[in-house]
Chains A and B, each alone.
Chain A
Amino acid sequence: MLYTLAWRNIWRNKRRTLITAASVLSALLFALFTRSMQIGTYAKMVDNLVQAYTGYIQVQKKGYWENKDINQSFKVSDTLVDKISSILNVSAVVPRLEYFALASFELQAKGSAIIGIDPEKEEKLTHLKKWLRNGVFLSTDDNGVLIASKLAGYLKINVGDTIVLIGQGYHGVSAAGKFPVRGILRFPSPDLDGQMIYMSLPNCQEFFSAENRVTSLALNLNNPDELDRTKQLIDEIIRSHNLVAMPWQEMLVELVQYIKQDNASGLIMLAILYLVVAFGVFGTVVMMTSERIREFGIMVSIGMKKWKLAVVTLLEMLMLGVLGIFSGVIVSLPIIGYYYLHPVNYGGDMGELIEKFGFEPKMYFALQPDFYVGQSLIVALIVLCAACYPMIRIFKLKEIKAIHSRM
């Protein structure tokens, strides 16, 4: 009977119930939409850089990250690679030799990042092949290069042309060479797309006169959530080699900071939104309670225990909340689902502006169940807090005063 009473009570004033449920629905929809957009975009930013470049962990010589000098490279042994590969969570160990050189073609020249890679292993980490837009991918002992599309555009170079690289190699040896362009890579990250040149590791080691040396071992993980534990295991292996294991958060400090700041502002917006909704719900509850004080008085007078009456009002609020939350989730799912599958492209000036700041001009959405649960729980908490009001009024109720109260 308590459930029946509660259910029928919320439909006594259909319009008010629908307006309240709609306000909960709108808040949830807005919260889910904006948070999904934020979380999705952050995840993509991290993915773009971690999956396409840094890996989740990199093994480097101490001090390399602060001073990316080829003289900070190290000789890598098969034993070390095997030991690291034997850690269960490590799915790929990818050797790289990275440095800088001036790239030129005809009248154009630009400073570029030169990455020597093992094409097969690199594919396991960064799935580099998926960014190939023109030409062919590198083979293991290839003497050609792959160029990022924005850089290629700047240099006005195409597949089949020959690029000239000039720089400084290991221990100050001068490095110069001509390399045929095998393919053009199109990266989502504008930073990467404007400066990357890939060549096979032996080719790169020869170019920089750094035989058997690498600047990093980039690692891919089966489960990124166990990054800390994996790092500990790697630390134990490399302790005696004067090497360090750097997680992606330490390598991409600016990105992490940006995400933190942006996330904080998003949370503040949400807090304001929820505050507004909380006041709306509370206003409805106050009105509902005031209208029914006389009825509460009658019910207690004829023998209904106050706690039972309080349970009825609590059930009413829960039903109202569930109605709003349920409809909010139902409405938001197809909308967010659509944008999850079809990220929003920033066009025109906005897109260019975003690219100038080094971000991909696309808005990605996340579709995570825990996120829905979290937001729904916040709304449920608001509704429960609002439910305290009629319950307090009921427990403080004086029968005579209540019976003689007027709306």
Chain B
Amino acid sequence: MEIIQLKDLYKIYDEGAVAVNAVNGISLTISEGEFTAIVGPSGSGKTTLLNLIGGLDRPTSGEVFINGTEITKLKSKELIDFRLNNIGFVFQSYNLIPVLTAHENVEFIMQLQNKPLAERHKRTIDLLESVGLGDKKDIRPRHLSGGQQQRVAVARALASKPRFILADEPTANLDSRATTNLLDIMERLNHEEKITFLFSTHDQRVVNKAHRVITIEDGKVLSDIYQEVLVHGKH
């Protein structure tokens, strides 16, 4: 089942005399359960594409369908609600709320959804356990390592039971061990709970784990490869 569908998507930044085509006519679909990496050099349009898919930015033209809803037509307030209930975000710099503990950061999303206390509490504990931070639930972000903060961010992204998770360079600020740890968690969640992951990355270790690799350059899709198919010599 297709979760994300992009149709002839353009994003043009008008920077003075020069117009920059950050996304230049991209059309693609992402299906449920995919573990997809978007790769490409700096300035290729990866982050812009993720922002458009996440409804954080609006395209110059084209359409973005998430689970059948054309989000480009949603009003700003509707988009906020849509993001809350459908999309989980993991940012490069973790971006946890500094004054809340790990537990509160994860629970916060469910509070925004007005979930009952008991449900919130149970799910928060489960999620923190699943990312291996059950024992760090009462610790604030500044006392956690980068890898631990990013794992809390993943738990937070999963808290709202989203349709998919968008991760922009999730391992960019992590060391090798933390990267491996995070990838293992994301891979397990994808495999066991069928959670769809779409992430941009420069990191070859992340690319190696992806089932599908979409390469972007100058705002266009250069290649779109299913790695299992590639491994088995099919295309």
Contacts and interface: CB of A to CB of B under 8 A. Distances in A.
Interface in B80-114: 80-81, 83-85, 89, 91, 95, 97-100, 104, 108-109, 111-113
Contact of A303 (B95, B98, B99, B112): B112
Interface residues of A, number: 21
Interface string B106-148: 0011011100000000000000000000000000000000000
B59 interface: no
B56 A12 contact: no
A9 B54 contact: no
Q: Which among B81, B99, B109, B112 has the greatest number of chain A C-beta atoms within 10 A?
A: B99
Contacts of A4: 100, 104
B90 to A, nearest CB: 10
A295 interface: yes
Given A1-B111, A12-B98, A302 B156 contact: yes
B109 A302 contact: yes
A399 B91 CA distance: 13
Contacts of A399: 56-57
Interface of A: 1, 4-5, 8-9, 12, 294-295, 298-306, 308, 399-400, 403
Interface in B39-79: 51, 54, 56-57, 77
B111 A303 contact: no
Contacts, number: 56
8 contacts: A1-B104, A8-B99, A301-B54, A302-B83, A303-B80, A303-B81, A303-B160, A399-B56
A400 B112 contact: no
Contacts of A1: 104, 108, 111
Nearest to B57: A400
B81 A400 contact: no
Contacts of A294: 95
Given A301-B56, A303-B112, A400 B51 contact: yes
B83 A301 contact: yes
A9 B56 CA distance: 25
Given A5-B97, A12-B99, A400-B57, A303 B77 contact: no
B200 to A, nearest CB: 14
A392 to B, nearest CB: 16
A303 B85 contact: yes
Nearest to A11: B99
